[in-house]
Amino acid sequence: MPSLSSRVLLLVASALGHRMGYRDLDEVRRKVERQQRRPAAFGPPKRLDRHCRVTAHFRHGWPCYEVAPRDGDAQVQVLYLHGGAYIEEIGDNHWNLIEKLATSGAARVVVPVHPLAPRGTASTVVPDLTALAGRLTADGTLPTVFMGDSAGGGLSVTLAQRLRDTGGTSPDQLVLISPWLDLVLDNSGIAGLQSHDPMLGVAALRYCGSLWAGELDLAHPWVSPVRGSLAGLPRTTVFAGTRDILTADARRFRDLATAEGVDVDFNEAPGQIHVYPLWPTPEGHQACRHLLASLPAPASAPLAEQ
């Protein structure tokens, strides 16, 4: 049974899901309009400076932050791609996880803040993100993980596919948190999950997806990576909850990727909502511990005893 705090979170999400998430189409349209009219803040909170070294560059015309341990050397580098249905900026829950990655995971975390839809679209943003990702994996100094939640989880798969297809160096691992892998949203398994999901709705997500797709079809693999080839992807850790309509395609990804020989560590948590590892609940904390423990060690470092 879900913990008390998870049940409280579910009640709050059920009451406020039309504002917290992407369930109500009219509210999502208003979110897009507000973001275009008054863009939300996206920078890391000041508290990160106490425990992390935070730097930034604007190589692609948009900010890219680097968050690293203040003391000691990084042991792994993580490209973190934030969620928000491609229409909302990175938020506190994302920065909390990024801080944990740097402080508890000894990670150097690279956090691109790319343009949001409708200004940013797959055809304009994916090439720049692929170039950034390729520079990280080609460096070879540290093992590299592509990690993302929701829309960022889908983007993580897309970038791994792009590097594979263009002869780039693949990441060592993918970590996908409630990934949005198919913007078409026609999986028959969604219907059985919809009544239990307090945050996401098909019509609202399709609207967001159409803004991100731009001139591309929703089924294009840059937009819906589960519809592209999954062969040759690196080891992949997936977190999903049973109160999340995106879990239908996370299960589909697991089955298709496994059939292609990909090592998939699939973690489905009963009673948990969308991106549950980012919420301060016992289940979220447990998922974060599993996530941190799964990060690859540098090749020169001895493997920890299991």
Query: In this structure, is residue 88 part of a structural domain?
Result: yes
Percent of the chain with pLDDT over 90: 90
Could you read off the pLDDT of 109-141 as tens digits, one per residue? 999 999 999 999 999 999 999 999 999 999 999
Q: How many H helices and E strands in the chain?
A: 10, 8
pLDDT > 70? residue 300: no
Phi then psi for residue 174, to 5 deg, are -115, 140
pLDDT > 80? residue 64: yes
pLDDT at 303: 43
Rounded CA gap, 238 and 176, in Å?
Answer: 5
| Residues 303 and 297: beta-carbon distance below 8 Å | yes
The residue type at 303: L
Q: What is the CATH number of the domain that holds 103?
A: 3.40.50.1820
Q: Quick check: helix, strand or coil at residue 161?
A: helix
In the numeric block, which tokens belong to residue 106? 């000894």
Query: In this structure, is residue 274 part of a structural domain?
Result: yes
Name the domain count of the chain: 1
Active site residues: 150, 244, 274
Q: Which residue's entry shows tokens 């890391």?
A: 44
What does pLDDT average to over the chain?
95
The residue type at 58: F
Rounded CA gap, 170 and 189, in Å?
Answer: 31
> What is the pTM assigned to this prediction?
0.95
Query: In this structure, is residue 160 part of a structural domain?
Result: yes
Could you read off the pLDDT of 20-55 as tens digits, one per residue? 789 999 999 999 999 999 999 999 999 999 999 999
End-to-end CA distance of the chain: 28
Question: What is the band of 305 on the pLDDT scale with cuts at 50, 70, 90?
Answer: very low
Rounded CA gap, 125 and 121, in Å?
Answer: 6
Range of the domain at 221: 4-45+72-108+116-294
